[in-house]
A and B are shown apart, each in its own frame.
Chain A
Amino acid sequence: QTVLQINSSLPDGSFAHVFLLEYESRLEAATEGAIDVQIFMSNTLGSEEDVLQGLGLGTHHASLSASAIAQINARTAIFDLPYLFEDRAAVQTFAASPAGEMMAAGFDGTGMMLAAMWDNGFRQITNDVRPIVVPADLVGLKIRTPTSRQRVEMFNTLGANATPLSFGEVYSALDQGVIDGQENPAEIVESARLYEVQDYMSLSNHVYLPTFLVFGEPYLNGLDPALRETVMTVAAELAPWTFDWGTETDARVIAELGDRIAINEVDFAAFQAAAAPLYESPTFVDVIGADMIAATRAALGIE
């Protein structure tokens, strides 16, 4: 029996965990037990940096990663461009387009291969000052971001005061008023109980971030060709299911949060316009590549 160990930095009970469990059952069924899938959540087999490096060295088999993958393949940083994807359909259109193939080709020579892109969700802004409807509402607010130059520049461009902070500090920093708000998928607002220390959640959908299921080439090369084919196909075929599951779960979570925090819609077009300079900014263009941005805009029909 072949063992497949899949690592993820995301915790038990996250979207990633749900999808990996579904993948495990589908793959073990499809291979009639020829493969034993073992799932390691919360970085229990090494930091994400080490896991991704280990894929090429052959020490790790596979990883389901989110933003950290941009360190390996800069083209995946396309998802850092704000207000690019208006809904999950657009994400799937992108994945099936030449731009999607261009992104997958960015893994060539990195020691790993992209098997599939799964759902992870749109990010929303919460704060305890006022509902965010138009860009002007963000002016002067201290918004926590991850340690990402792109996200910092995005919020600063929109007039906010971006404050990079590790996620573990966010709850107490919000509680103490050291920062006014933060941005994360709605599911995090619920699971990390951020609604206890925040008054408003604005459905900004400013960034869509998928998860990337990547396999190490040494591991794939060691598999029997038929098995390898099944491993990749089952992963790709699971993608639409993850997007449907994500849509339903998002709707349910937002409905549940409605009792605990004031929720509002935003003027998406106004934000898109305010963020336009970022599409020319070297912070984004130099990392992602002008060709990748152009291909994505073409695929999504954005002028």
Chain B
Amino acid sequence: MASLTTLIARLDLWLTRALDAAVIGLAGLLFVLLNIAVVSRFVFNNSVSWSEELPAHILAALTFIGAAYLTRTSEHLGFDAVVRILPPGVKRAVMAGNLILIAGFGVLLAWYGGIAAASFGSRMMISVDLPMALFRYTMPVGGALIALISVTRLAGLLTGQVHPDDLLPESDA
């Protein structure tokens, strides 16, 4: 039992690091690509063909990978004024219910997102030779991670290892 907990904690640490690196990398990549697009249009007078399609797809990838990260760190925006003042037992029950809903939505994103991504087959993007599925699969991957993270935290909540206050949503942005 103890070793299982350690294993989960270690996997959780590595997952969080990977998500952190992915978010920094994707944000940095967008920053670099948009500046390349600007320089090539205004300095070299030669518009890059991918200037709209590629950044938009990368932003979508950042959205779903980032959503998993924010689920892990409880940084999604929410309204916490009422739950915050609930009695501890009720609070725990409400937070458990929320985790189940989050996990359920993650499963839907993973399942139906997987079907949709697979339907793109080997189709290429219009302006650059990258498969559309490369970006489309970030949604089912993000959804699966959201479900996985929520289930783990639900187990932690029910076994008393996670405090319900750590699961409250971020109340400002």
Contacts and interface: CB of A to CB of B under 8 A. Distances in A.
A164 B40 CA distance: 13
B126 A164 contact: no
State the majority secondary structure of interface residues on B: loop
A198 interface: no
A71 interface: yes
Contacts of B52: 147, 166
Interface band, chain A: 10 to 19
Contact of A71 (B47, B49, B119, B123): B123
Interface in B47-71: 47, 49, 51-53
Contacts of A149: 49, 127
B100 interface: no
| B49, B123, B126, most chain A CB atoms within 10 A | B126
A299 interface: no
A57 interface: yes
Contacts of A152: 49
B120 interface: yes
Interface string A258-283: 00000000000000000000000000
A4 interface: no
B116 interface: yes
B18 interface: no
A163 B49 CA distance: 9
A300 to B, nearest CB: 27
Interface of A: 53, 56-57, 71, 111, 147-149, 152, 163-166
Given A149-B49, A164-B47, 9 more contacts: A53-B119, A53-B120, A56-B119, A71-B123, A147-B53, A147-B126, A147-B127, A165-B47, A166-B52
